[in-house]
Chains A and B, each alone.
Chain A
Amino acid sequence: MVADRPPFEDLYREFMRRIYAYVRAQVSTAADAEDITAQVFMNAYQAYGRFEARNTTPAAWLFRIARNATLDHFRAHGRRERLRRTIEHQPMAEVDPAGVAEERIQYRALLAYVARLPERQRDAISLRHSGLSFEEVGALLSCSEDAAKMLYHRALKALRDSVREGMA
């Protein structure tokens, strides 16, 4: 194993929950989030031999895989559902009672608002609050660090407005 590459299990234990939270903020059910998270780490496990620590951080590498897996999920399953939710502006259907029980109820609604943001804003919020730096967010969203900051702040205001409307 390359000296600067930590054992994969270290990455898994450090990032699994963060990746899950990131994915959970994008999709409508805990079951989907688990499926996608599992796919993320299966893919990462297979690709870890090609990971170059000098080119990117483990966090950026894993979140890139997570972002791609989430987009794949929407391409395959969720585009129509997301569109419907956006149009109807309804809280997301929760089909996993066990998942409901295990998630913090008070934050689930907030993540549901995040999930309804436009894609780039949603990503900026989710990646940033999953612990990535603005530089890493920018790299993942193919923009500069400053542009990532601006995108994030616009997303934050959009989220605030969305929450206000929902509470009105």
Chain B
Amino acid sequence: MSDNEDRELQALRRQLDDAFETTRPRAGFEDDLWSRMQARRPLWAQVRDFLAGLVAAVRRVPAAPAATVAVVLVLAIGIGIISLRGPGGGGSSLSRESGTAPFAGGAGAFGRLPAPALQPVPNATTAPKTDGPGGAFAGQSTAGLYFGPATLVWAGQLNIHLTTATVYRYAEPTSAAADQFAASLGASRQPGPAGQGGLGAYSGTGFVLGVAGTIPSPLREPLFFLTPDRSTLPPPGPTATDTANAFLTAHNLLPTWPYVVATAQSADVVRVLYLRQFAVQGVGQVYTVDAVGERHGLEVDLRGGQPLQAVGPLPVTLEPADYPIISAGQAVKSALALSPAGPSSIEPIPTVRLTAAELIYALAIGGDHSFYEPAFLFSGTFTHNGITYVKRVLVPAVAP
């Protein structure tokens, strides 16, 4: 091959590289197609993947500098009331196999209550965790969660003096209730089954919507799941929170319950979290936590400044009832004696100093109703093979 021919072919290669590199579909095609793919998936799969999404995202960036997974806390405090706008309804079509908890306290209007409990995340002990969206545990933001057995030592302060607290109960929403909620957003039911646990799949102008009942594992309250057509969205706001607020407002989905806004970023996705709170007399606003003890509520994911999806609690009617609460001392004793939520995965069994505790609300399901119940969430960290882990212990606050 002559030098000239060689140079000619080299130039052609470069042109081909450039041609393939710069050949792109029309603007918006990538997100359009992704939305279409999401919309065609079974509702249950959409919800499951969303719930696993942040954990997966966090797993993908354990080695990233902490600054790349920044958590910005407390941008605004929303003031509202427990939502009473959503339809209630009776009956349940859900399997309770993995969501049933042992019964706990009983001296209240709802009778004996199922006990809230943490649910282990598969492989959690091998998944060092970056900053959690709730930012609940300052200084522990790069640790993974450990649910296995540990020798626990209490080394903190728990100064909560309560004798009673409110438990909230809701009936499992029906398909008719899901239809009513969808109609309030301007969406109509799509043909076909909604999938396991799903109450309905809907479409409206510029979005698709899924509604699911209480999810046993990972435990979540009834949810809506809204995916917009990204080609029809207005320009982004000045901040992620502004965009999320505008998006939720446009769809009449801004929470009516008390919340604190936080943002978490993973790779190119920004998640705006509306962390749900309940008012506790004598304590103030306390957070709700999910199945692994993370603060949670309604979440809006954004990419490129534009909403990708929103997931939040389906509005349901909450009935309140006061229950007697165990003392702080009893809570500490219970925390140290509680059986581990997960199997042993670290040898030898670690010793963990629990250094923080707070009153929170956690979900528990039982029979035809589910309950938001007060509980004490203890936490501490330990290091194993150079990896820092968080150990959390959840103690039901309702007196047995």
Contact = CB atoms under 8 A, between A and B. Distances in A.
Indicate, yes or no, whether A interacts with B: yes
B13 interface: yes
Contacts, number: 91
A34 B41 CA distance: 20
A38 B23 contact: no
A17 B41 CA distance: 22
A16 B33 contact: yes
B23 A160 contact: no
A88 interface: no
A130 B37 contact: no
A96 to B, nearest CB: 9
Contact of A102 (B26, B36, B56, B123): B26
Contact of B24 (A3, A41, A102, A111): A102
Contacts of A156: 9, 12-13
Contacts of B22: 103-104, 107
A3 B24 CA distance: 31
Contacts of B29: 20, 34
Interface string A138-168: 0000000000000000001101100100000
A140 B18 CA distance: 23
Interface in B31-58: 33-34, 36-37, 40-41, 52-53, 56
Contacts of B30: 13, 16-17
A37 interface: yes
A30 B37 contact: no
A3 B123 contact: yes
B267 to A, nearest CB: 9
B235 interface: no
Nearest to B269: A9
B362 to A, nearest CB: 26
Given A12-B34, A37-B33, A107 B56 contact: no
A22 interface: yes
Contacts of B60: 6-7, 10
Nearest to B11: A160
A104 B22 CA distance: 7
B386 interface: no
A6 B23 CA distance: 26
A21 interface: yes
A129 interface: yes
A160 B19 contact: no
A93 interface: no
Interface in A76-118: 98-99, 102-104, 107, 110-111, 114
Interface in A120-148: 125-126, 129-130
Contacts of B8: 160
Given A17-B24, A20-B24, A107-B23, A45 B16 contact: no
Contact of B33 (A41, A104, A163): A41
B56 A7 contact: yes
A41 B17 contact: no
Contact of A21 (B23, B37, B40, B52): B23
A129 B20 CA distance: 6
B15 interface: yes
A107 B19 contact: yes
Nearest to A99: B26
A67 interface: no
B23 A45 contact: no
A42 B123 CA distance: 29
Contacts of B25: 17, 20, 30, 33-34, 37, 102
B27 interface: yes
A126 B21 CA distance: 11
Contacts of B15: 107, 110
A62 interface: no
Contacts of A104: 18-19, 22-23
Contacts of A37: 25, 33
Nearest to A104: B22
Contacts of B34: 9, 12
A129 B19 contact: yes
Interface centre among B15, B20, B53, by most chain A C-beta atoms within 10 angstroms, is B20
B26 A21 contact: no
A47 interface: no
Interface string A17-32: 1101110110000100
Contact of A129 (B17, B27, B53): B17
Interface of A: 1, 3, 6-7, 9-10, 12-13, 16-18, 20-22, 24-25, 30, 33-34, 37-38, 41-42, 45, 98-99, 102-104, 107, 110-111, 114, 125-126, 129-130, 156-157, 159-160, 163
Given A25-B19, A30-B25, A156-B9, 9 more contacts: A9-B34, A21-B20, A25-B20, A34-B29, A104-B22, A111-B23, A129-B16, A159-B16, A163-B12
Question: 8 closest A-B pairs (Cβ-Cβ)?
Answer: A107-B19, A21-B23, A129-B20, A21-B20, A129-B16, A104-B22, A20-B25, A110-B19
6 contacts: A16-B33, A18-B20, A102-B26, A110-B15, A111-B20, A159-B16
